[in-house]
Structure 1
Amino acid sequence: MTMRALIVDPDAPTALRFGTVPEPDPAPGQLVLEVRHISLNRGEVTFAAQRPAGTVHGYDAAGIVVRAAADGTGPSVGARVAALGTGAWAQRMAVDTTAVAEVPDGVDLADAAALPVAGVTALRALRTRPILGRRVLVTGAAGGVGRYAVQLAALGGAHVIASVGSAARTAGLADLGARQVVIGLDGIDRPVDLILDTVGGPQLAAAWRLLAPGGDVQSIGWASGEPAVFEPYSLYSPGPAKTISTFGDADEPGPDLAVLLGFVADGGLSPEIGWRGSWERFDEAARALLERRVAGKAVLDVTPEFPEMRGVDPGDASSPGDAAR
């Protein structure tokens, strides 16, 4: 048995194309998910060509369980789940039961698909330090991780400063909980206690100078693609140690996915989908991400195979992404 999937092709315009691949063969602790929606992260698109040709790409998906795990763990057949695992951009995926969470009633599967990589990254980075009453700076705040980080930091009682690259990228961030929205680092006149940096490069070096004694930078992205050069002795600081940490922990994300889905169900977290359409338009979505024309996440609707749904394009419906296309 075979299925359609988005696979790596270094010669394709976005290093991705449709291909036909074998159905997943799950391990005992894995379930099989019929994928209804996938989400593209900018980093996945940027570095797709670095993966082996023919690899089924992607990590974010939401859908329906069609085969429960053989070891008896995880959701049963028919459950609606969100998943974080390799090979997500396909009609079906095998995923560890520790990497899924059931989607609450009332939460759309498309919204659930927008959460895994970006939402878990933001949540786990914010957990590294107490943030109640602290000043938290989020750089690249208009992106997928950034918009989740702003909301989650605000939910945690932080004074949130959102940094973006241009005036056009400031829209909506104050509504998500940012007390201050700045372009670059202009206008930040007091030290900050925690920085979630998704930009890297010269801005990371400049942000370090804003860090209060005892503060921490969580380096969780490098959208600039530029080197960060620190002046001699600029990393030295008297008093409580200041630190820079890298962060990329995606181990057993299921419980954290459940936390995020709970926030969505309660109305405390917005999935922030800035582009949505059929996965037949993956090239368009990928280019929009690379050109920074998406505020938040890009979600693609996977074409179903059911006879009664043939001929219906999920991307035909109007969506939050219409204005971003």
Structure 2
Amino acid sequence: MRALVYDPAAGFGVRFDEVDEPRPQRSQVVIDVEVAAVNFGELAFTARQLRPGQVFGKDAAGVVVRAADDGSGPPVGTRVTSFAGTGGWAERRAVDTADLAVVPGTVDLAAAAAVPAAGVTALQAVRRLGPLLGRRVLVTGASGGVGRFAVQLAARAGAHVVALVGRPERGEGLRELGAAEVLSGSAVPDEPVFGVLDNVGGAVLAEAFARLEDGGLALAIGMAAREDTVLDLEQMRMRGGIRRLEPFAVSGPFGPDTAYLIDLLNGGALDPQIGWHGSWDRVHEAVDMLFSRRVPGKAVLTID
């Protein structure tokens, strides 16, 4: 079958190849993939995640063409979206039934494909901050896939959301998603924040950590800046109080959280924010636009 695989010598590390059909384990279904999502992190740090020749793709939505042998999960013909480490950018994918969610007929599969990796990451990060009603939360890299989900979910939890983007035009639409404030460039919140959901790293994370109030928590979710973070801990000691910084990693099984987000999507309470949608033959265009920060939100590929 046709698939997009990792090749360090190819443009953006991505090329088409013919690969073997998936061989599902007993707890896995096989999906006929119709739409897959493109995530910045899986492309910017591919060498850490894939071996040459492995199939890209954390997110993929389509129709079940083989049910799980152990009887778990949905039957053949069910529309689903899925989240796994690899294999989504192919004509068919095998995925564990614990890591997928059924997609109602009222939800577009492109929207469903955009949800799992970015949406579940944002959901679990917001949950990690704890109760947010009336609290100030800073979301950095708020214009990206995880960032736009984080803005919506933190606002839904009752937070006063401060969204930080690299350029003013990248902040378009964030207030409509729930941001109370939208900052750009090197601007910082005018008041301390209880929580930080950082998708950028580097100097942005250092500055965001410095804006925490006593008892606050910053989560390092992503490193879009692709630069090291240097913290002035002496400055923090002089301020007094206790502030925490934690590396954040999403954890499975992913099915229940994906199903929750699909339910919000179906009810009109969540917007997947698809900023680019095209054939997987245009994958290099999609990656180039992601890397050059020209996609607001998610990019998705039609597997045709």
TM-score (norm. length: structure 1):
0.90
2:8 and 2:94 map into 1 onto residues whose CA distance is 25
What do residues 14-48 of structure 1 show as CA deviations (whole Å, max 9, x unaligned)? Answer: 10100000000000111101100000001111122
Task: Give the structure 1 partner of residue 40 of structure 2.
Answer: 42
Task: Give the structure 2 partner of residue 141 of structure 1.
Answer: 142
Displacement after TM superposition at 1:251 (Å) = 1.1
1:210 and 1:263 map into 2 onto residues whose CA distance is 31
2:42 and 2:59 map into 1 onto residues whose CA distance is 10
Task: Give the structure 2 partner of residue 278 of structure 1.
Answer: 279
What do residues 110-139 of structure 1 show as CA deviations (whole Å, max 9, x unaligned)? Answer: 100001110000000000111111111100
**Does the residue aligned with 2:60 lie in a helix, a strand or coil?**
strand
How many residues in Structure 1 have an aligned counterpart in Structure 2?
300
Task: Give the structure 2 partner of residue 26 of structure 1.
Answer: 24
Task: Give the structure 2 partner of residue 108 of structure 1.
Answer: 108
Task: Give the structure 2 partner of residue 166 of structure 1.
Answer: 167
What do residues 185-215 of structure 1 show as CA deviations (whole Å, max 9, x unaligned)? Answer: 5251111011000011011111111101111
1:231 and 1:124 map into 2 onto residues whose CA distance is 28
Displacement after TM superposition at 1:233 (Å) = 2.0
Displacement after TM superposition at 1:225 (Å) = 1.0
Letter aligned with residue 10 of structure 1: P
Q: Which has the larger displacement, 230-239 or 287-296?
A: 230-239
Task: Give the structure 1 partner of residue 56 of structure 2.
Answer: 57
Displacement after TM superposition at 1:249 (Å) = 2.1
Task: Give the structure 2 partner of residue 299 of structure 1.
Answer: 300
**Does the residue aligned with 1:274 lie in a helix, a strand or coil?**
strand
Displacement after TM superposition at 1:232 (Å) = 4.2
**Does the residue aligned with 2:269 lie in a helix, a strand or coil?**
coil
**Does the residue aligned with 1:218 lie in a helix, a strand or coil?**
strand
Task: Give the structure 2 partner of residue 208 of structure 1.
Answer: 209
Letter aligned with residue 153 of structure 2: L
Task: Give the structure 2 partner of residue 217 of structure 1.
Answer: 218
2:250 and 2:297 map into 1 onto residues whose CA distance is 21
Letter aligned with residue 127 of structure 1: R
Contact 1:32 1:66 in 2 (8 A): yes
Contact 1:98 1:252 in 2 (8 A): yes
**Does the residue aligned with 2:43 lie in a helix, a strand or coil?**
helix
Please report the RMSD computed on the Cα atoms of aligned residues, expressed in angstroms.
Answer: 1.2
Task: Give the structure 1 partner of residue 2 of structure 2.
Answer: 4
Contact 1:131 1:156 in 2 (8 A): yes
1:282 and 1:295 map into 2 onto residues whose CA distance is 17
Structure 1 gap segments, 5+ residues each: 304-325
Identity of aligned residues (%): 51
Displacement after TM superposition at 1:61 (Å) = 0.5
2:101 and 2:231 map into 1 onto residues whose CA distance is 41
Task: Give the structure 1 partner of residue 240 of structure 2.
Answer: 238
Task: Give the structure 2 partner of residue 312 of structure 1.
Answer: none
What do residues 216-263 of structure 1 show as CA deviations (whole Å, max 9, x unaligned)? Answer: 001100111111111242343633x31111111231010000110011
2:210 and 2:233 map into 1 onto residues whose CA distance is 13
What do residues 67-106 of structure 1 show as CA deviations (whole Å, max 9, x unaligned)? Answer: 1100000111111001001211100011010000001231
**Does the residue aligned with 1:233 lie in a helix, a strand or coil?**
helix
Task: Give the structure 2 partner of residue 308 of structure 1.
Answer: none
Contact 1:9 1:49 in 2 (8 A): no
Task: Give the structure 2 partner of residue 310 of structure 1.
Answer: none
**Does the residue aligned with 1:215 lie in a helix, a strand or coil?**
strand
Contact 1:45 1:290 in 2 (8 A): no
Letter aligned with residue 8 of structure 1: Y
Task: Give the structure 2 partner of residue 228 of structure 1.
Answer: 229
Q: Which has the larger displacement, 178-187 or 269-278?
A: 178-187
TM-score (norm. length: structure 2):
0.96
Are residue 66 (structure 1) and residue 68 (structure 2) matched?
A: no
Residues 192, 232 of structure 1: CA spacing in aligned structure 2 closer, same or farther, 3 A cutoff? closer
**Does the residue aligned with 1:174 lie in a helix, a strand or coil?**
helix
